[in-house]
C-alpha cells in the first residue's frame, strides 16, 4: 500500500539520514556514503528512477561512456551499501526509522517502527513501509530491459535474414 509521507515523517527520515551519515559505527567508506547521499537525494527529490549509469558517472567517477552491463561496479557498491545498512540496523534494533534499499531497486524506502513502548516488551514492534512509486518502477525495469533486448535481438536477426535474402536475389539476377 502506497502512502504519502507526512511532513513529520519526512522530517524523521531526514533526521535518520543525517544520523546515519554522522554515525561512526556505520561501516561505510567515503564512496558508500556518497552513494547513500546520492540515492537519498534522489528519493527526497521524488525521482522515479535512478539510472545505474548516472550513479557510475556522478558518484563512482566513471567516464561518460560507462556501460552498466559491462562493468558491475554499481551493483557491487549497492550490495555493499545494503549490507552496511543491514548490519547497522542489526546493532540498533530499537531504531524507530530504518532506511532500506530493497533488492532490484536503487531508490531507498523507509520503515517506521511502531509500538516501541518499553513497558510492552511482549509485543514485537510492527513495521510500516513507505514505498514510493519509484521502487515499483525500478523493480520492473530488469524485465523491461530483457524484453527490449529480446526485441532488439529479434530485430537484428530479421534484418540479417532480409539482408541475406536480398543478397541472394541480387546474385540470382
pLDDT digits (tens, 9 = 90+) for 49-70: 899 999 999 999 999 999 999 9
Whether the CA torsion 41, 47, 53, 58 is positive or negative: it is negative
3-state DSSP assignment of residue 67? coil
Given a cut of 60, whether residue 138 has pLDDT beyond it is no
User: How much of the chain exceeds pLDDT 90, in percent?
Assistant: 32
3-state DSSP assignment of residue 110? strand
Do 82 and 39 meet the contact criterion of CB atoms below 8 Å apart?
Answer: no
pLDDT the model gives residue 148: 52
Given a cut of 50, whether residue 155 has pLDDT beyond it is yes
Q: Would you state the cell numbers that stand for residue 72, as one nine-digit string? A: 558491475
The mean pLDDT of 96-119, rounded to a whole number, is 80
Tell me the per-residue pLDDT of 81-94, one tens digit each, with 9 for 90 and over: 999 999 999 988 88
Which pTM was predicted? 0.63
C-alpha span between 15 and 67 (Å, rounded): 35
pLDDT: which is higher, 121 or 150: 150
Query: Where is average pLDDT lowest: 21-30, 33-42, 109-118?
Result: 109-118
Amino acid at each position: 500500500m502506497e502512502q504519502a509521507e507526512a511532513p513529520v515523517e519526512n522530517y524523521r527520515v531526514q533526521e535518520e539520514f543525517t544520523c546515519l551519515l554522522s554515525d561512526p559505527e556505520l561501516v561505510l567508506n567515503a564512496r558508500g556514503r556518497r552513494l547513500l547521499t546520492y540515492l537519498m537525494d534522489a528519493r527526497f527529490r521524488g525521482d522515479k528512477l535512478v539510472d545505474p549509469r548516472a550513479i557510475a558517472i556522478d558518484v563512482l567517477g566513471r567516464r561518460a561512456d560507462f556501460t552498466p552491463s559491462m562493468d558491475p561496479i554499481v551493483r557491487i557498491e549497492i550490495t555493499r551499501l545494503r549490507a552496511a545498512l543491514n548490519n547497522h540496523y542489526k546493532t540498533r534494533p530499537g531504531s524507530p526509522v530504518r532506511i532500506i534499499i530493497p533488492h532490484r531497486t536503487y531508490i531507498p524506502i523507509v520503515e517506521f517502527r511502531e509500538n516501541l513502548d518499553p513497558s510492552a516488551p511482549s509485543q514485537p514492534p510492527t513495521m510500516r513501509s513507505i514505498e514510493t512509486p519509484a521502487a515499483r518502477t525500478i523493480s520492473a525495469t530488469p524485465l523491461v530491459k530483457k524484453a527490449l533486448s529480446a526485441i532488439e535481438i529479434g530485430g537484428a536477426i530479421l534484418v540479417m535474414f532480409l539482408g541475406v535474402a536480398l543478397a541472394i536475389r541480387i546474385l540470382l539476377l
